[in-house]
């Protein structure tokens, strides 16, 4: 499969979690910078600042049995652009009985452009049993707390740019448009997403914490 095309002046921020036996659960989002490109050292510092912001705003939303084990920031401008990391283990501090590792808080990223298909979202391993309203939804108080915490977290990221970074703003990236039907040798047909020649960058106008319990079944590691 060919690599995805470059996205000029856009940073991918990727979080890796320790969720019991799952050592590689991830979520990610994107920020665009208006100024000059960072160096590796500057992105290392930027990743450190994101780790500090996580501890300041989000660790109390995550079970004390879980932790962030790595934050990687990649400049997507080219395949040789800068990359930085923070590999400190950042434990959650929320007490209470665990929920399933597949249960997530979904944060949708609203953009102005209207389109059909999947929208940008993040899947965070937040919440404990006491935060549930019922089997399908998180409680209103918890949802409101995560909403304000994530807004503060995003504000800290936007303010943490390197010298000459210029304005940092949250964006969503669309790499695909439509699909092609592919029929394999067995006769079974499946849809393959069609890559765009040039990715579309949309400014995020709002982050919305969903009340419904999100699911990432892969985090159960197919152990059953």
Q: In Å, what is the CA distance from 103 to each residue of 26, 78, 92, 126, 206? A: 13, 35, 16, 8, 23
Please check whether residue 198 lies inside any domain of the structure: yes
Q: What is the C-alpha separation between 169 and 173, in angstroms, rounded?
A: 13
Q: In Å, what is the CA distance from 142 to each residue of 29, 97, 125, 132, 152? A: 22, 15, 13, 8, 15
Please check whether residue 97 lies inside any domain of the structure: yes
Count: domains in the chain: 1
Please check whether residue 221 lies inside any domain of the structure: no
Please check whether residue 224 lies inside any domain of the structure: no
Q: Residue 22: in which H helix or E strand, if any?
A: strand 22-33
Please check whether residue 162 lies inside any domain of the structure: yes
**91 three-class SS:** strand
Per-residue pLDDT reduced to its tens digit, 102-149: 999 999 999 998 877 778 999 999 999 999 999 999 999 999 999 999
User: Which pTM value belongs to this model?
Assistant: 0.91
Please check whether residue 32 lies inside any domain of the structure: yes
Q: Residue 1 has what pLDDT?
A: 61
Per-residue pLDDT reduced to its tens digit, 138-150: 999 999 999 999 9
Please check whether residue 147 lies inside any domain of the structure: yes
Please check whether residue 163 lies inside any domain of the structure: yes
Q: What is the C-alpha separation between 192 and 181, in angstroms, rounded?
A: 6
Domain of residue 180 covers 10-216
Q: Residue 196 has what pLDDT?
A: 80
Mean pLDDT of 193-216: 92
Per-residue pLDDT reduced to its tens digit, 69-103: 999 999 999 999 999 999 999 999 999 999 999 99
Q: What is the C-alpha separation between 143 and 149, in angstroms, rounded?
A: 10
């Amino acid at each position: 499969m060919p690599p995805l095309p470059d996205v000029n002046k856009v940073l991918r921020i990727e979080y890796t979690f320790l969720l019991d036996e799952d050592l590689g659960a991830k979520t990610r989002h994107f920020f665009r910078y208006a100024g000059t490109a960072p160096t590796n050292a500057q992105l290392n510092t930027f990743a450190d600042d994101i780790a500090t912001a996580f501890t300041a705003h989000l660790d109390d939303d995550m079970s004390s049995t879980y932790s962030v084990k790595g934050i990687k920031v990649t400049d997507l401008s080219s395949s040789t652009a800068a990359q930085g990391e923070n590999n400190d283990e950042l434990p959650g501090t929320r007490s209470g009985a665990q929920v399933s590792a597949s249960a997530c808080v979904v944060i949708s990223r609203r953009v102005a452009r209207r389109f059909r298909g999947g929208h940008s979202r993040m899947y965070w391993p937040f919440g404990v049993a006491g935060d549930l309203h019922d089997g399908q939804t998180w409680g209103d108080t918890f949802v409101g707390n995560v909403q304000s915490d994530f807004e503060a977290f995003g504000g800290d990221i936007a303010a943490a740019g390197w010298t000459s970074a210029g304005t940092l703003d949250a964006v969503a990236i669309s790499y695909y448009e439509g699909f092609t039907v592919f029929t394999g040798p067995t006769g079974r047909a499946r849809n393959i997403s069609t890559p765009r020649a040039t990715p579309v960058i949309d400014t995020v106008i709002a982050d919305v914490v969903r009340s419904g319990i999100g699911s990432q079944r892969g985090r159960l590691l197919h152990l059953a």
